[in-house]
Amino acid sequence: MKKLKIVINIAIFVFICFTFTGCTVIALEVYSNVFDRFDNAGSFDAWIVDYPREEVWFYSGKNRLQGFIYGENNSKGLVVVSPGIYSYADEYNRMIISLIESGWRVFSYNMTGVDNSEGYSMRGLSQAVIDLDAALSYIDIESAFNDLPVMLVGFSLGGYAACAVLNYNHRVTAVVSFAGFNSTLDATREQAVAEIGGLYYLLSPQVQMLERQTFGDVAKLTAVDGINKANIPVMIVQCSDDEIISSNTISIYAHRESITNPLFEYVFLDGEDAFGHYFKNYPNNRLYVQVLEFLERSRP
The pLDDT, as a whole number, for residue 12 is 36
Question: In this predicted structure, what is the pLDDT of residue 154?
Answer: 97
Using one digit for the tens of pLDDT, what is the confidence trace for 156-182?
999 999 999 999 999 999 999 999 999
Long-range contacts of 261-265 (CB under 8 A, 24+ apart): 261/227, 261/228, 261/230, 261/231, 261/232, 261/234, 262/231, 263/231, 263/232, 263/233, 263/234, 264/227, 264/233, 264/234, 264/235, 264/236, 265/233, 265/234, 265/235, 265/236, 265/294
Tell me, what's the pLDDT at 21? 43
pLDDT digits (tens, 9 = 90+) for 57-98: 999 999 999 999 999 999 999 999 999 998 888 888 888 988
pLDDT at 208: 66
Q: What is the pLDDT of residue 195?
A: 53
Sketch the domain layout of the chain as residue ranges. Answer: 47-183+221-297
| pTM score, whole prediction | 0.86
Mean per-residue pLDDT for 131-147? 96
For the segment 7-29, the average pLDDT, to the nearest whole number, is 39
- CATH homologous superfamily of 47-183+221-297: Alpha/Beta hydrolase fold, catalytic domain (3.40.50.1820)
Condensed to tens digits (0 to 9), the pLDDT of residues 211-220 reads 777 888 999 9
Once rounded to an integer, what is the mean pLDDT over residues 104-109?
A: 97
